[in-house]
Amino acid sequence: MTVAGALKTFEGRGDTGKATYRRFCPECASPIMVEAEAMPDVVMIPAGTLVDASAVKPTMQIYCDSAQPWVKLGGDIQSFAKMPSPG
């Protein structure tokens, strides 16, 4: 993945207690990507940042225990109450 331009970073803690890095635009604060120390080979990109999100095919849904009752992705995808363990 390549990002053009500088990003700002907010460091937080995930469910594991390890660091998470929310990277965002320094001009408008739009979220660009999230990285987690617990999953060093994964970069999470908000679908809303994509020019053509129609190519996105969800394969899992996470944090289902806190989802609003009207949220239903349907289909044959994995569901997790919280963030699944890496691996």
pTM given for the model: 0.75
Give the Cα separation of 79 and 44 in Å (integer): 17
Which residue is listed with tokens 């809303």?
A: 48
In this predicted model, what pLDDT tens digit does every residue of 1-47 receive, in sequence order?
678 899 999 999 998 899 999 999 999 999 999 999 988 888 888 88
Q: Give the DSSP letter of residue 15.
A: T
* Dihedral class, residue 32 (left if φ above 0, else alpha if ψ from -120 to 50, else beta): alpha
Domain extents for the chain?
1-53, 57-87
**Across the strands, what pairs with 78?**
60
Give the Cα separation of 40 and 20 in Å (integer): 10
